[in-house]
């Protein structure tokens, strides 16, 4: 009964559980404000202080990881809020998993609202191009909401023409 009540508490806060197979069996809940909680509802503290961040290099630089899970925080948050990563096949026939894109390019901001999931390589390249174009015209990327960034950067939602029209409006 206690487990059911605590699950309801987490769900009432908008939390979603990180799949156990990705959390090495540890119960971790992703909070919509972009942090993790343990099974007792306490913040997992080993990944919040920038000076003590556990980071590991990857092809895009360094991202914070959740130490006991040995996974990047943004991937764990995306798995909790957006579900399993789909598998795609490249033109050369090789398979790869969907890519998670930060709408506002702050690696420490892995709120679910800041994550655009699960993109193909081509979609991610386009989302990156659009993000760079926005950074060139916005003094502060936070001048737009996460929803506006999602709408503009997601090539599955907005055509190139629609993006260019919106970008021109932002410039003026």
DSSP reduced 3-state for 155:
coil
Task: Please return the burial class of 101, using the count of CB atoms within 10 Å of its CB with bins 0-12, 13-18 and 19+.
Answer: buried
pLDDT band at residue 67, thresholds of 50, 70 and 90? confident
Q: What is the pLDDT of residues 85-117, one digit of tens each?
A: 999 999 999 999 999 999 999 888 999 999 999
Q: Which pLDDT score is estimated for 121?
A: 96
Q: From CA 42, how far away is CA 141, in angstroms rounded?
A: 31
Q: Write phi, then psi, for 139 (nearest 5 degrees).
A: -65, -35
Domain boundaries, the chain: 1-93
Residue 83 contacts by C-beta under 8 Å, 6 or more apart in sequence? none
Residue 89's CB is within 10 A of a number of other CB atoms, namely 10
Q: What is the pLDDT of residues 18-40, one digit of tens each?
A: 999 999 999 999 999 999 999 98
DSSP state for residue 85 in the 8-state scheme = P
Angle, in degrees to the nearest 10, between helices 160-171 and 146-153: 130
DSSP state for residue 39 in the 8-state scheme = T
- Global pTM reads 0.86
């Amino acid at each position: 009964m206690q487990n059911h009540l605590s699950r309801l508490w987490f769900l009432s806060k908008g939390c979603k559980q990180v799949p156990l197979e990705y959390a090495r069996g540890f119960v971790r809940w992703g909070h919509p404000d972009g942090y993790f909680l343990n099974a007792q509802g306490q913040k997992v503290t080993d990944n919040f202080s920038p000076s003590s961040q556990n980071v590991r290099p990857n092809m895009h630089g360094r991202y914070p990881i959740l130490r006991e899970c040995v996974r990047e925080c943004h991937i764990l948050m995306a798995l909790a809020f957006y579900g399993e990563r789909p598998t795609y096949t490249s033109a050369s026939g090789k398979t790869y998993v969907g890519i998670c894109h930060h709408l506002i390019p702050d690696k420490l901001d892995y709120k679910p609202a800041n994550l655009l999931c699960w993109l193909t390589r081509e979609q991610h390249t386009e989302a990156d191009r659009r993000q760079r174009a926005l950074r060139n015209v916005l003094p502060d990327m936070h001048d737009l909401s996460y929803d506006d960034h999602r709408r503009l950067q997601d090539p599955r939602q907005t055509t190139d023409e629609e993006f260019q029209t919106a970008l021109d409006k932002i410039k003026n």
